Chain A
Amino acid sequence: MSSLIELRGVSKVYEGNEGRAALDDVSLAVEAGELTAIMGPSGSGKSTLLNLVAGLDRPTKGQVTVDGVDVATLSEARLARFRCERFGFVFQFFNLLPNLTVLDNVLLPAELLGTRGREAATKARDLLAQLGIADREREHPGRLSGGERQRVAIARALINRPAVILADEPTGALDSRSGDRVMDLIERLNQGGQTIVLVTHDAKVAGRYAGRIVSLRDGHIEDDARLTSGSGAASDLFRVGSSGAER
């Protein structure tokens, strides 16, 4: 069975980087329903990997396939639509549009997809209610707390029922309590079957919530371990790196 996301021999070299690869010959497969954490120090290639998966960038070498589609074969316009249909995004700094209300922000991806107004609005309100911020729908993001903003961002990410949620340091701008609440939310989504790829530098977060941890260093996969149980204990890690399975 093919994976939901597949990277095969992917390299990415940026211009002016003295030939150094941000990602170097990376192969990775993410299955549907997984919560995969991508970890690594600054400059390890985490964001690059996320951007390549999302089609925001194109690999210098190799192939990126999402839901069976090679993203490199899509034009910019089709890629934008593909991204809108298949992915939901949660950013470290929320990236809500300040000029729009909470509800309008959540509706954005649905509007880009052409979902009818009433249907989209109903979905958006449902999501906001599920996330406990239905009463804030008419507010602008500037009046919300960090945790509330991130919940809006999560609602926005879910409105089109995407195949994959890409979360880039979703708790990075939050205090620990808000961060825990957001991660609990993400975990619940995953338990409901949502595939999530999470970029984080926080080992505790990765260990506690992720079912699989991929560690990057200098553009390579240093480690790739699946947790055998939900406990997240380091001893329960089942490694699936390039060195093969081992216990």
Chain B
Amino acid sequence: MRAVARKALADIRRRRLQALIVASLATLATVVTALAVTLLTTSSSPYRAAFERQNGGHVVAVFDPRFASADQVAATARGPAVEAHGGPWPVANLPFQARAGKVQLQVVARDDPGGVDALRIARGRWLRRDGEIVLTQSLAEAERVAIGDDVVDVGAAQGVPLRVVGLAFDVDTGPYPNFMVQPAWVSAEQFRTLAPPGPGGTGYLMVYRLRSAGSAAAIRQGMASIRSGLPDGAVTASISYLAIEQFFDLNGSLILTFLVAFGVIALAAAAAVVANVAAGAVLAGYREIGLTRAIGFSPAQSVLGLMLTILAPALAGAVVGTPLGLLLSVPLVQQSFHALGLPAPGVSPLGALAGLLVVLVVALGAVLPAARAGRLSPVRAISVGSAPPSGRTSRLVPLLRRAGLPRWISLGAGDAYARPLRGALTTVAVLVGVATLTFAFGFARSLDRYIGDTGLTVGRGDVVVQRLGDYPDAAVRRTLDDQPETRLVVSYRSDNLDVSGLSDPVPVQSWRGPSDRLGFHVLQGRWFSRPGEVVAGPAFLKLTRLRVGDSFDASLAGHRSRLLVVGSYFTTNGLGVTLAMDWSTLQGFDPTLEPEAYQVILERGSDVSSYVGRVAASSPSQLEVADLRQVVAQQLAPTRSSVDAILVVLVAVLALIAGLGVFNAVLLTTRERVRDTAVLRTLGMGPGRTVAMVAASGGLIGLLGGALGAPAGVLAYLGVLGLVGNLLGSPFAGSSLDAYSAVSLATLAATGVLVAAMAALLPARWAASSRAAEILRAE
């Protein structure tokens, strides 16, 4: 055993380049695997940990006091499905001016932060007196509000400043800006001064812990039990902890989808290249293996020796790659934990196992070539002196020559598959690299388009105007109509519809004006055009088992109506469980309701920021005016930055693996062909042509790998897009995001040639500068 280890160590020292290639491959594969394993093991636990820690409510519900009194709401907690509860707390949605701009807050009158849905103070303290307010940490960080700042209620109770005394984690609401309306807490006495007069502007907030809440179905049953006995319209909104958990995990789930898929691919690509390295080591050390066998190494010892020369550098690479991968995972994991006010976890022990997994995969890649070393006949190996040639003349050479390529190019390219297995494995590595790049390009482009095409999110528009408090609708319309750049104004409001058969109200947007011009993507049927018609998000149809053309009953504000589904549209609002309808349909429920916001399309070439400034100046305190695209971009910024970071890591890793694969293959081929190259140089092939010849062997692999990799990347993109669509509740139609063109696909495929040519350059230059005379003499 000592002899085997000593020989293996000597071989590693002698073949440093081979060891470096294996170590680099192991490092790269370990980084991606450690990242994936860490996220896999930590992504779902922080929310659950925070939820249990804070005694979170399985369901949060808001009640309309016009249809349920405080006593009736309190009585719902005595139902058989409820284990514990918090509330009823008075609640109202009010506009506030914060440091960076205006925000809508769900102000809750709550004196005690404990009990069900216990609020954990991240910074500052809980309320002690009137005039104080506690905000959520996610809102405060995004809007740059600090302890001690004042936020001013600009609604009905005009200009009431409240001092921010604490920042809290509320596990029963999602993070800002995914959840634009964040809770904030004031004392009960303070609430009375803020709340708009009359029952319509306030509600009661209840938080329930249910006896059975392990699944969405159990929660729906629990909610149905809570609502039983209450009149229609009593529950205006409800959300379960499972839905909130989905939002917290959304980023993580997205990223995890990439990492798991591409982590497996990275491992496979690394194994393919290692198999080539090991096979090359056997071929290069053919005579030497024969000699060691002749002096007494057993077949098993030959195999073990070769495995050690591969596994030792792999282990070193894994040792370097594991902390790197864990380090890269820190900002991603921290994002989720920070949002929940939890300390970021330490190194996941399972993440540390990633390195062992990679070493195992490397061993699998090397075992077959190593077994070949064990089967070698020592006599034959010594007498022949070198590995038998590939055994067949390359059919590619005459084919390429007939294609009109110069001799040296056809010779070099013909070498690419002279050893078919080596060529195939290297092609796989390039294919994977190009596929990853193609996927990343498509996904990043789609994300850009998703952010840029507001028809996929909030509807087309240049400017959004929010009407705060009791500022008159007519005044907003007048202001907008007075601006010369205004081309189209469509206003809307958001409510929650009680849909028969569903325990939770469904968000609905009601549009006043030609909303069909806002560019929403209709997936099935058509946009609504008459009163009583609705379009639904796909997840709503799936949940209710309705189809386009079906009708259903719904109620709002105590009024019931029959609605007809005329179409389905792309929306991620409410994860696809959402509806849209015309203003006339809303008026059938409650004619007193007014729009909350106005979406404005400007004339072409208008200066959006100047328009925004002008409109805001008309009522600085009661209008929140913003560039619509900027609002959407801000909402999606956290997702965008995480996805971009991961894509960069994936592309870099897989491209490097591809490059190493080609480098190794070309190096092996160059060494095997060293005599032929020396002959050609003797006959008069200059250095430039020598480089071109060697690079051509890599180039052909790059061409084929690229030609196969680009469509493979498109397939991966479509597959992941489908998964993302499922996560978000709306299927993505590939055409709606339009990620690829013929030119872009051709360019992506061509990157295979670029990577391969660059990887082949160094061996090519070595071949061009080697001493032909010495090589020919050495024979």
Contacts of B418 in A (CB 8 A): 99
Selected from B411, B680, B686, B779, the residue in CB contact (under 8 A) with A81 is: B686
Check: A76 CB closer than 8 A to any chain B CB.
yes
Check: B517 CB closer than 8 A to any chain A CB.
no
Selected from A104, A107, A112, the residue in CB contact (under 8 A) with B684 is: A112
Contacts of A83 in B (CB 8 A): 682-684
Check: B688 CB closer than 8 A to any chain A CB.
yes
Check: A100 CB closer than 8 A to any chain B CB.
yes
Check: A57 CB closer than 8 A to any chain B CB.
yes
Asked if A108 and B683 make an inter-chain contact with CB atoms under 8 angstroms apart, the answer reads yes
Contacts of B393 in A (CB 8 A): 98-99, 140
B residues 713-740 near A (Cβ < 8 Å) are none
Contacts of A93 in B (CB 8 A): 779
Asked if A80 and B394 make an inter-chain contact with CB atoms under 8 angstroms apart, the answer reads no
- Per the bound structure, the CA–CA distance linking A113 and B406 in Å amounts to 12
Asked if B414 and A80 make an inter-chain contact with CB atoms under 8 angstroms apart, the answer reads no
Stretch at the interface among B36-44, B151-159, B341-349, B770-778: B770-778
Chain B 385-424 per-residue mask, 1 if CB under 8 angstroms from chain A, else 0: 0000100011001000100001110010010001000000
Check: B481 CB closer than 8 A to any chain A CB.
no
Asked if A80 and B675 make an inter-chain contact with CB atoms under 8 angstroms apart, the answer reads no
Check: A111 CB closer than 8 A to any chain B CB.
yes
Contacts of A95 in B (CB 8 A): 675, 679, 682, 776
Selected from A57, A79, A89, A98, the residue in CB contact (under 8 A) with B683 is: A89
- Per the bound structure, the CA–CA distance linking A107 and B418 in Å amounts to 22
Selected from B401, B411, B773, the residue in CB contact (under 8 A) with A97 is: B411
Nearest CB in chain A: distance from B415 CB, A: 8
Asked if B684 and A113 make an inter-chain contact with CB atoms under 8 angstroms apart, the answer reads yes
Given contacts A56-B682, A56-B772, A57-B771, contact A99 B688 (CB under 8 A): no
Asked if A112 and B682 make an inter-chain contact with CB atoms under 8 angstroms apart, the answer reads no
Check: B607 CB closer than 8 A to any chain A CB.
no
Work out how many contacts link A and B, with CB atoms closer than 8 A: 78
B residues 92-127 near A (Cβ < 8 Å) are none
Asked if A100 and B684 make an inter-chain contact with CB atoms under 8 angstroms apart, the answer reads no
Chain B 680-696 per-residue mask, 1 if CB under 8 angstroms from chain A, else 0: 11111111110000000
B residues 654-680 near A (Cβ < 8 Å) are 675-676, 679-680
Check: A77 CB closer than 8 A to any chain B CB.
yes
Interface size on A, residues (CB 8 A): 31
Chain A 32-49 per-residue mask, 1 if CB under 8 angstroms from chain B, else 0: 000000000000000100
Nearest CB in chain B: distance from A26 CB, A: 16
Check: A219 CB closer than 8 A to any chain B CB.
no
Check: A214 CB closer than 8 A to any chain B CB.
no
Given contacts A80-B687, A91-B776, contact A99 B682 (CB under 8 A): no
Chain B 357-395 per-residue mask, 1 if CB under 8 angstroms from chain A, else 0: 000000000000000000000000000000001000110
Selected from B389, B681, B682, B687, the residue in CB contact (under 8 A) with A98 is: B389
A residues 74-110 near B (Cβ < 8 Å) are 76-81, 83-85, 89, 91, 93, 95, 97-100, 104, 107-109
Check: A54 CB closer than 8 A to any chain B CB.
yes
Given contacts A80-B681, A111-B407, contact A97 B777 (CB under 8 A): no
Contacts of A190 in B (CB 8 A): none
Asked if B679 and A97 make an inter-chain contact with CB atoms under 8 angstroms apart, the answer reads yes
- Per the bound structure, the CA–CA distance linking A104 and B394 in Å amounts to 14
Nearest CB in chain B: distance from A21 CB, A: 16
Contacts of B779 in A (CB 8 A): 93
Asked if B397 and A56 make an inter-chain contact with CB atoms under 8 angstroms apart, the answer reads no
Nearest CB in chain A: distance from B423 CB, A: 14
Nearest CB in chain A: distance from B420 CB, A: 14
Check: A51 CB closer than 8 A to any chain B CB.
yes
- Per the bound structure, the CA–CA distance linking A108 and B685 in Å amounts to 10
Selected from B397, B406, B682, the residue in CB contact (under 8 A) with A89 is: B682
Contacts of A99 in B (CB 8 A): 393-394, 397, 411, 414, 418
Nearest CB in chain B: distance from A213 CB, A: 22
- Per the bound structure, the CA–CA distance linking A204 and B418 in Å amounts to 43
Selected from A54, A56, A112, the residue in CB contact (under 8 A) with B685 is: A112
Selected from A78, A97, A113, the residue in CB contact (under 8 A) with B676 is: A97
- Per the bound structure, the CA–CA distance linking A56 and B682 in Å amounts to 7
Nearest CB in chain B: distance from A53 CB, A: 11
Nearest CB in chain B: distance from A66 CB, A: 14
Asked if B685 and A80 make an inter-chain contact with CB atoms under 8 angstroms apart, the answer reads yes
- Per the bound structure, the CA–CA distance linking A78 and B689 in Å amounts to 12
Asked if B773 and A57 make an inter-chain contact with CB atoms under 8 angstroms apart, the answer reads yes
Which among A80, A111, A156 has the highest number of chain B CB atoms within 10 Å? A80
Given contacts A80-B686, A80-B687, contact A108 B680 (CB under 8 A): yes
- Per the bound structure, the CA–CA distance linking A95 and B778 in Å amounts to 13
Asked if B682 and A108 make an inter-chain contact with CB atoms under 8 angstroms apart, the answer reads no
Specify the chain A residue showing the minimal Cβ separation from B681. A80
Contacts of A107 in B (CB 8 A): 407
Asked if A84 and B411 make an inter-chain contact with CB atoms under 8 angstroms apart, the answer reads no
Contacts of A112 in B (CB 8 A): 407-408, 680, 683-685, 689
Contacts of A54 in B (CB 8 A): 682, 773
Contacts of B414 in A (CB 8 A): 99
7 other A-B residue contacts (CB within 8 Å) besides A99-B393, A99-B394: A54-B773, A79-B686, A80-B687, A91-B679, A99-B418, A104-B401, A109-B684
Q: List 25 A-B contacts (CB under 8 A).
A: A54-B682, A76-B687, A77-B688, A78-B686, A80-B687, A83-B682, A84-B683, A95-B675, A95-B682, A97-B679, A97-B680, A98-B389, A99-B394, A99-B411, A100-B397, A100-B411, A108-B680, A109-B684, A112-B680, A112-B683, A112-B684, A112-B685, A112-B689, A113-B684, A156-B683
**Lowest 5 CB-CB distances: which A-B pairs, in order?**
A84-B684, A80-B686, A56-B773, A51-B773, A77-B686
Binding site for A on B (CB under 8 A): 389, 393-394, 397, 401, 406-408, 411, 414, 418, 675-676, 679-689, 771-773, 776-777, 779
Binding site for B on A (CB under 8 A): 47, 51, 54, 56-57, 76-81, 83-85, 89, 91, 93, 95, 97-100, 104, 107-109, 111-113, 140, 156
